[in-house]
Structure 1
Amino acid sequence: MEIMVSRIKRTLTVGQRAAAVERTNTIAQEAADEERRCREEKTERLRRLRLAAAGATSRKEAAAASMEKSSLNNAISNTGE
């Protein structure tokens, strides 16, 4: 690695080295931004899935409670006859 660095130092001017470092920093920043964007999208998808699952669970619980109430009402009305 040091051989490569020394070769770069010998072959590039100070301005060229600065430009190379700037390009490297720009590429690294773009990669970090892309990674952050992907992570945010994934988090949003997971949040929506959790909300949908919670909503489905709530609907199932409501339906089960409604069925239980209905069967209790039927049992009460059947015993009253």
Structure 2
Amino acid sequence: MNKEKVTIQDIADSLGLSRNTVSKALNNNPSIPDETRSKVIRKAIDMNYKQFALFEQEGTPAKKKPAISPCLLQICRTIHILARHC
């Protein structure tokens, strides 16, 4: 993909899902099945979706960087979900 910024719509189009479903999956909405959520998260990571960037670009002042990455938190949730199905 040549676009600089990946959107929820880009992820939805690549998976054949609605934008609403992808948004709910990324926000850990319980109405989305675990399998769908996992597919969405994997695709978002593969496409470098902004929510899953570990840190902001180089040169960003430390006070603006999150104490814990939202990406890391979502990865932990996904691992937990996937581990329940093993």
TM (norm. structure 2) is 0.26
TM-score where L is the length of structure 1: 0.27
Between the two structures, name the one with larger relative contact order (CA 8 Å, sep ≥ 6). Answer: 2
Higher helix share goes to which structure? 1
Q: Which has the larger radius of gyration?
A: 1
